[in-house]
Amino acid sequence: MALSPGTPLLTFAVEPVEEGEGFALNVSPSDGSGVRSYRVDGPEPEAFAEMFDALHADFGTRRPHHAEPPQDYAAPPWRPLITGNLHPRILSGYGDPAVLRTGDGWWLVATSNDAPDAFPILHSTDLESWKPMGFVFEEGQTPDWTAAGLKVGDFWAPEIARVGEEYWLSYTARGLDRTLAIGLARAAHPAGPWTDNGAPLLTGTVIDSHVYVDADGTPWLLWKKDSNSHWPRPLAALLRENLDLIPALFDDEGDRRTAAFCAAIQPFANSRRPMERFFLMQPLIRAALANWRRVKAALERSGIAAHVIENMATPIYARQIGADGRSLVGDQHLLLANDLDWEGHLIEGPYLTRQDGRYYLFYAGNDFTSPSYGIGYAVADRLTGPWRKADQPLLRSHPDWTAPGHASVSVGSDGEPRLFFHAFHPGTGGYNVFRALMTVGLAFSGDEVTLVP
């Protein structure tokens, strides 16, 4: 709802109270209507969603999980491969899937989030039926440098590649200091056993690694700087100290109230574990994405938000991996950053393939919990660029499947290239929500990529 000029901004005072595994928030709005209490019963995203639903009912703020349905268009030629859980220890499906074809079929590794067993491994001989083959790191066998355990660890985005006579698997995990880092493990066979390097390959709040082996055998690491996790709370802190910025960023009453609430809760969010910080700021992220151009322009005009604006860019980098797989060598190259409207506040999940002498880099953009999430691509004549992006996403949400993302490229049974990616069942989405494995054929022609059945 747009505001009339002079409408006063509704603000909030928030008093958090720890209660068992969860907490309560005693919220006092500035309109004097009295204190209202909202409970969050534990660290699950559903508990936060229920709290924000109640806050929405009372004050019209945004709900983190609510979005307009995806635009309807002719059904894309996607084909679902795994649409339900195949093993009780795989807790959230097949997000960020990496598929590799070998002489004995196709191997799949996928994100496990905070499950006790990290990175499920599955095998197929026909791309139709898939057999669970264990985990890269079973419970109790995660690398010593990683934070691990149910509701503690974050094991994301494994990528598998054949490098020389062995297989390398790069992945994202949190170090013991809770910052994100990239590790590397190796095995003689995709089924394992996998042996970790024993220390991170790359640190510094980095995620979504991809190992690419160039035509001359040189291994490269691609990754994303996780800047998008560094702007929501600083933005909330900035708004907390400068409430007059809120009307400049948002015209809608609900979005203004969302920003005011997240500003009030920001000090408490800073004290929570990383994923809970994300849950608490998610309505502000959604509000900012819905007003992306206006928000960025207003922040630039303010002259006091350079630290926020800087972290609204998520660069994807590449650097050579040393022959021992334990270090990075040579120069670091910036490949891409988010600069198209549909990408919003991030691009992530890079996957590089070479076809007919050209390099094609697939990536995901926008917010993974939103129907606005999709898969784009860029083309270059050299690995280090310059890269030319397609203007619009190659894959986007459809009423049949939502938020396609984080692709890998392998070869189908017909010998032709195929894209493998995840998507949510309609009406679902979010952290630890089941993601299905999908596939679609690819055709490459110059700077163009098209989808084929």
Given the residues 96, 117, 154, 276, select the one marked as catalytic.
96
CA 273 to chain centre: 17
> What is the pLDDT, as a whole number, of residue 6?
56
CA distances from 173 to 144, 159, 281 (A): 11, 13, 21
Q: What is the pLDDT of residue 68?
A: 73
Residue 3 confidence (pLDDT): 44
Q: What is the pLDDT of residue 40?
A: 96
The residue from 114, 255, 348, 367 that is catalytic is 348
96 is catalytic: yes
Beta bridge partners of 334: 317
Write down the pLDDT at residue 75.
86
φ/ψ (deg, to 5) at 357 = 85, -5
The CA distance from 422 to 436, in Å, is 5
- Give the model's pLDDT for residue 425: 95
In three state form, how does the secondary structure of the chain look?
CECCCCCCCCCEEEEEEEECCEEEEEEEECCCCCCEEEEECCCCHHHHHHHHHHHHHHHCCCCCCCCCCCCCCCCCCCEEEECCCCCCCCCCECCCCEEEEECCEEEEECCCECCCCEEEEEEECCCCCCEEEEEEECCCCCCCCECCCCCCCCEEEEEEEEECCEEEEEEEEEECCCCEEEEEEEECCCCCCCEECCCCCEECCEEEEEEEECCCCCEEEEEEECHHHHCHHHHHHHHHHCCCHHHHHCCEHHHHHHHHHHHHHHHHHCCCCHHHHHHHHHHHHHHHHHCHHHHHHHHHHHCCCHHHHHCCCCCEEEEEECCCCCCEEEEEEEEECCCCHHHCCCEEEEEEEEECCEEEEEEEECCCCCCCCEEEEEEECCCCCCCEECCCCCEECECCEEEEEEEEEEECCCCCEEEEEEEECCCCCCCCCCEEEEEEEEEEECCEEEEEC
What is residue 403's predicted lDDT score, i.e. its pLDDT? 95
pLDDT along the chain (453 residues), means of 10: 63 94 95 96 92 97 82 90 97 97 97 97 97 98 96 95 97 95 98 98 96 97 95 97 97 97 98 93 95 96 96 97 96 97 96 97 94 96 98 95 97 97 93 96 97 95
pLDDT in tens, 65-81: 776 778 888 889 999 99
- pTM value? 0.94
CATH 2.115.10.20: which residues of the chain?
A: 79-224+317-452
Class level of CATH domain 79-224+317-452? mainly beta
pLDDT at 1: 42
Of the candidates 17, 37, 7, 61, the residue with the CA atom closest to the CA atom of residue 262: 61
Give the pLDDT score at 232: 97
